[in-house]
Amino acid sequence: MKKADKKVIVAIITESLKKKPKGGARKKLREFFLENIGVVLRAEQLREVSGNISEWARRVRELRDEEGYKILSHNDRSQLKPGEYLLETAKPEPAFTREISKETRAFVLDRNGFTCQMCGAVAGESHPYDASRKTRLHLGHIIDKSQGGTDEASNLRAICSVCNEGASNITLTRPDFLKLMTQIRRATSPDQIEALKWLTTKFPKQAKLFVK
Ligand SMILES: [Zn+2]
């Protein structure tokens, strides 16, 4: 092989390495999000930044799920349209949600009936306070870690993204019993039946005791 040919090959290889740096897409996306905190970014922009790779959306999910960046989509914020993304803060979420094992996560979600323990929203269904959002469940600590709470299943509960963000004030505090009963008594029969269905699913054993 001539020296000149070798040079050409080296140049080609260098060029191809430049185009496809290993793991580069995620890094580029991370940098782009961090340069645009609080800015609504569109899918087309993200695809372009990623180097036009088809898995750009997967890389965005990895930033969110593996690295803990609070990248919001229309499932988290009603102001966002499908295909729009927004990084809320530069600081990734505390790693605790990622340290909790898949088994614990599955156990807690199952125990909580895949239902947000603050507002009652069901995973995958439209959110009761915002029908445009699909309910996505997270695990929350019952006693905060800063107050000595642990990552044990007994200290964890399912919380939807709406309640997790504290986006809705109604969901922040549990309704007191009298107010709750007043609301239920004033509700329409179909809604009362829906509530009954939900309660009997949540408390099957107890429900049997009341049915004569
Ligand atoms: Zn909720």
Q: Domain for residue 48, yes or no?
A: yes
What's the chain's Rg over C-alpha atoms?
A: 24
DSSP string, 105-156: HHHHHHHTTTB-TTT-PBTTSEETTEEEEE--EEEEESS-GGGT--SSGGGE
Residues 160, 140 within the same domain:
yes
Each residue's pLDDT tens digit, 136-169: 998 888 887 777 888 889 989 999 988 877 644 4
Residues 168, 209 within the same domain:
no
Cα 4 to ligand 1 centroid, rounded to whole Å: 66
Residues 106, 139 within the same domain:
yes
Top-confidence residue, 150 or 65: 150
Report the domain count for the chain: 3
With beta carbons less than 8 A apart as the criterion, state whether 197 and 207 touch. no
Q: Is 95 helix (H, G, I), strand (E, B) or coil?
A: coil
Residues in the chain: 212
Last residue of a domain, which of 39, 59, 87?
87
Residues 138, 180 within the same domain:
no
Cα 113 to ligand 1 centroid, rounded to whole Å: 13
Residues with beta carbon < 5 A to ion ligand 1? 116, 118-119, 121, 160, 163
Cα 63 to ligand 1 centroid, rounded to whole Å: 24
Cα 130 to ligand 1 centroid, rounded to whole Å: 11
Last residue of a domain, which of 39, 57, 87?
87
As a whole number of Å, the end-to-end CA separation of the chain is: 92
With beta carbons less than 8 A apart as the criterion, state whether 160 and 137 touch. yes
pLDDT of residue 86: 93
- In degrees and rounded to multiples of 5, residue 126 shows phi and psi of -60, 145
Residues 123, 80 within the same domain:
no
Q: Domain for residue 208, yes or no?
A: yes
Cα 26 to ligand 1 centroid, rounded to whole Å: 30
Residues 130, 117 within the same domain:
yes
**Domain around 170:** 94-174
Cα 40 to ligand 1 centroid, rounded to whole Å: 24
Cα 54 to ligand 1 centroid, rounded to whole Å: 33
Cα 138 to ligand 1 centroid, rounded to whole Å: 10
Top-confidence residue, 13 or 212: 212
CA distance 75 to 136: 7
Last residue of a domain, which of 32, 56, 87?
87
Angle CA 104–64–157, to nearest 5? 30
Residues 75, 32 within the same domain:
yes
Residues 150, 108 within the same domain:
yes
* Dmax (CA) of the chain: 94
Residues 164, 209 within the same domain:
no
Q: What percent of the chain has pLDDT over 70?
A: 82
Q: Domain for residue 1, yes or no?
A: no
